[in-house]
């Protein structure tokens, strides 16, 4: 049996916990509960990551590493209450409403006959991702509420059998993704399930240990739940949608997911050797990707693939009262910051009960897409910065929540790299020249990416550094990209 590096994974958690918080309204469950993700010494069932060669891994992850930008979609029955229950706003993220408001199973299940999202349009959603410059979509096929947003023979609590809508949005999305050259992944809550007997629940409020259930209808045996509902549904998702999903996005494992039970899931995953899956399966498996939630790690995860998932406001699932949307400037600079550290940005939308996407989200995505249409070359398929210090520095005096030196980001510029180019994303116009103290490559020329004529900018070398003469005005106030050609 393979040995799995404990260092690689637990180190990931440490970095994650000291990471840079950006708009941190919802803290990362994964990272708070980091303990659960520790890598054990042995896997009862070796996973693809244990057995493949580095070359095989590179081939498997290539598209993901080049993609840099994906769309997360949180959509389910929770879009009906949209953050309010019994006339009151329920604090916290929208898709957690059942748990946060201790809604009995029968009452929550009664939402299904009311779910009729006739405005859902797969062509439009995939088109929106496309126009935003996103390369893949990950959608909640089943969230913690246990409701399957796909046709399922394994469990009747699903969108085809339990709603008047009767359509399978996953099928429609898969068809559209194929048409529009978009990749599709499925989020599946393999462990928490609040409407199926035996499904797990995270602790909330006064819910009692050891199960943290709030309704006897939730009680049961977890292994039985996993074998009867979770694994069969994952099998459906992995076999009924052709070449999709390319990603399975697990979430919130608990102690219930022992290495042995996770091994049963891994057996199924191993039947799909192109699949990419994240670090949230549980049972000591570290998967392919680190998943920092609602923040960008200070220095990325050298040696690990990663994806920062973030909301545009403060909720994943739609909440009618949450209008706290980040600006296009913040979203775009987050994308650039992430690319400069070698990660992907999985940016969320939360469609409404009608199936429509909130207009604030559509607007922002279109704006990000406009920038990418001009500057995408500096984001997709790039390597991280050659510099690093531009991202910010650890404070000598200030401490973070864990008592470690706090990372203080700087927002002047970022950089990405290709074999013959260094891209500098300027957030502030430095005046008539941009100066670099050190330049590890030989620069042969410079121009602005938004300048179709590629008008050469004057490069002056001095010692190991250089200066590039800039025009008087900053062409794009959010981020102007300077290209340095290198030999």
C-beta of 452: minimal distance to ligand GLC in Å? 39
C-beta of 228: minimal distance to ligand GLC in Å? 22
- Identify which of 126, 148, 124 has the alpha carbon closest to the alpha carbon of residue 138: 126
Please tell me whether residue 233 binds ligand GLC under the rule CB under 6 A: no
C-beta of 262: minimal distance to ligand GLC in Å? 17
Q: Could you give the CA distance from residue 372 to residue 414 in angstroms, rounded to a whole number?
A: 15
C-beta of 52: minimal distance to ligand GLC in Å? 26
- Which residue from 6, 25, 29, 475 is in contact with ligand GLC, where contact means CB under 6 A? 29
Q: Could you give the CA distance from residue 83 to residue 87 in angstroms, rounded to a whole number?
A: 10
C-beta of 310: minimal distance to ligand GLC in Å? 9
- Of 320-379, binders to ligand GLC (CB under 6 A) are none
Instruction: Give the residue with the Cβ less far from ligand GLC, 251 or 356.
Output: 251
Please tell me whether residue 248 binds ligand GLC under the rule CB under 6 A: no
C-beta of 233: minimal distance to ligand GLC in Å? 17
Joined together, the tokens standing for residue 317 give 């699932």
CA 361 to chain centre: 16
Joined together, the tokens standing for residue 176 give 């559209």
CA distances from 79 to 85, 157, 268, 326, 455 (A): 12, 16, 31, 21, 50
Please tell me whether residue 93 binds ligand GLC under the rule CB under 6 A: yes
C-beta of 93: minimal distance to ligand GLC in Å? 6
Q: Give 409's DSSP letter.
A: E
For residue 183, report the phi and psi dihedrals to the nearest 5 degrees. -95, 150
C-beta of 289: minimal distance to ligand GLC in Å? 12
Q: What would the DSSP string read from start to end of 13-39?
A: HHHHHTSEESS-SS--HHHHTGGGG--
Q: What is the SS3 assignment for 228?
A: helix
C-beta of 189: minimal distance to ligand GLC in Å? 8
**Among the candidate windows 90-98, 119-127, 223-231, 478-486, which touches ligand GLC by CB under 6 A?**
90-98
**Among the candidate windows 89-97, 231-239, 324-332, 369-377, which touches ligand GLC by CB under 6 A?**
89-97
Q: Could you give the CA distance from residue 102 to residue 214 in angstroms, rounded to a whole number?
A: 6
- Which residue from 251, 288, 307, 314 is in contact with ligand GLC, where contact means CB under 6 A? 251
Strands (E), 81-207: 84-85, 88-89, 136-142, 183-188
Helices (H), 68-221: 97-100, 105-109, 122-131, 169-179
**Among the candidate windows 92-100, 332-340, 444-452, 470-478, which touches ligand GLC by CB under 6 A?**
92-100
- Identify which of 296, 277, 274, 356 has the alpha carbon closest to the alpha carbon of residue 320: 356
- Which residue from 20, 43, 70, 95 is in contact with ligand GLC, where contact means CB under 6 A? 95
Please tell me whether residue 191 binds ligand GLC under the rule CB under 6 A: no
Please tell me whether residue 426 binds ligand GLC under the rule CB under 6 A: no
Q: What is the largest CA-CA distance in the chain?
A: 73
CA 459 to chain centre: 39
Instruction: Give the residue with the Cβ less far from ligand GLC, 348 or 480.
Output: 348
**Among the candidate windows 91-99, 110-118, 431-439, 475-483, which touches ligand GLC by CB under 6 A?**
91-99
Neighbours of 21 (CB within 10 A): 16
Instruction: Give the residue with the Cβ less far from ligand GLC, 188 or 244.
Output: 188
Instruction: Select the residue whose beta carbon is closest to ligand GLC and give its number.
Output: 29
Helices (H), 310-428: 328-340, 359-375
Please tell me whether residue 316 binds ligand GLC under the rule CB under 6 A: yes
- Of 428-487, binders to ligand GLC (CB under 6 A) are none
Which residues of this chain interact with ligand GLC, rule CB under 6 A?
Answer: 29-30, 74, 93, 95-96, 251-252, 293, 309, 316
């Amino acid at each position: 049996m393979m040995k799995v590096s404990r260092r690689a994974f637990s180190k990931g958690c440490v970095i994650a916990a000291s990471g840079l918080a950006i708009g941190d309204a919802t803290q990362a469950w994964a990272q708070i509960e980091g303990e659960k993700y520790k890598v054990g010494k042995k896997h009862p069932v070796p996973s693809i990551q244990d057995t493949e060669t580095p070359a095989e891994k590179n081939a498997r992850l290539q598209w993901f590493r080049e993609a840099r930008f994906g769309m997360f979609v949180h959509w389910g029955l929770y879009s009906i209450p949209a953050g309010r229950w019994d006339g009151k706003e329920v604090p916290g993220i929208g898709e957690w409403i059942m748990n946060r408001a201790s809604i009995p199973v029968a009452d929550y299940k009664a939402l299904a006959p009311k779910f009729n999202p006739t405005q859902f349009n797969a062509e439009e959603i995939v088109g929106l991702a496309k126009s935003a410059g996103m390369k893949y979509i990950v959608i909640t096929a089943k969230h913690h509420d246990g409701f399957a947003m796909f046709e399922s023979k394994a469990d009747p609590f699903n969108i085809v059998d339990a709603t008047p809508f009767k359509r399978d949005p996953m099928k429609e999305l898969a068809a559209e993704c194929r048409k529009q050259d978009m990749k599709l992944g499925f989020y599946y809550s393999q462990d928490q399930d609040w409407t199926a007997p035996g499904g797990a629940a995270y602790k909330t409020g006064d819910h009692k240990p050891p199960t943290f259930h709030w309704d006897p209808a939730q009680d049961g045996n977890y292994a039985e739940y996993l074998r009867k509902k979770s694994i069969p549904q994952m099998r459906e998702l992995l076999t009924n949608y052709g070449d999709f999903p390319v990603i399975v996005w697990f979430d919130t494992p608990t102690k219930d997911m022992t290495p042995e039970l996770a091994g049963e899931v891994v057996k199924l995953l191993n039947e799909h050797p192109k699949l990419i899956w994240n670090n949230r399966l549980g049972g000591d498996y570290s998967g392919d990707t680190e998943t920092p939630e609602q923040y960008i790690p200070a220095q990325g995860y050298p040696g690990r693939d990663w994806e920062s998932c973030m909301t545009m406001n403060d909720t994943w699932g739609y909440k009618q009262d949450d209008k706290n949307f980040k600006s296009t400037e913040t979203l775009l600079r987050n994308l650039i910051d992430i690319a400069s550290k070698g990660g992907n940005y999985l940016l969320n939308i939360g469609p409404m009960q009608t199936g429509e996407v909130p207009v604030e989200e559509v607007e922002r995505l279109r704006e990000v897409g406009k920038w990418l249409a001009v500057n995408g070359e500096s984001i997709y398929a790039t390597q991280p910065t050659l510099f690093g210090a531009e991202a910010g520095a650890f404070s000598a005096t200030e401490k973070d929540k864990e008592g470690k030196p706090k990372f203080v980001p700087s927002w002047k510029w970022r950089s990405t790299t290709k074999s013959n180019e260094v891209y500098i994303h300027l957030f502030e116009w430095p005046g008539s020249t941009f100066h670099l103290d050190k330049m590890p490559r030989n620069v042969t020329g410079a121009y602005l990416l938004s300048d179709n004529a590629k008008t050469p900018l004057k490069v002056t070398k001095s010692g190991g550094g250089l200066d590039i003469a800039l025009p008087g005005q900053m062409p794009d106030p959010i981020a102007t990209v300077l290209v340095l050609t290198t030999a």
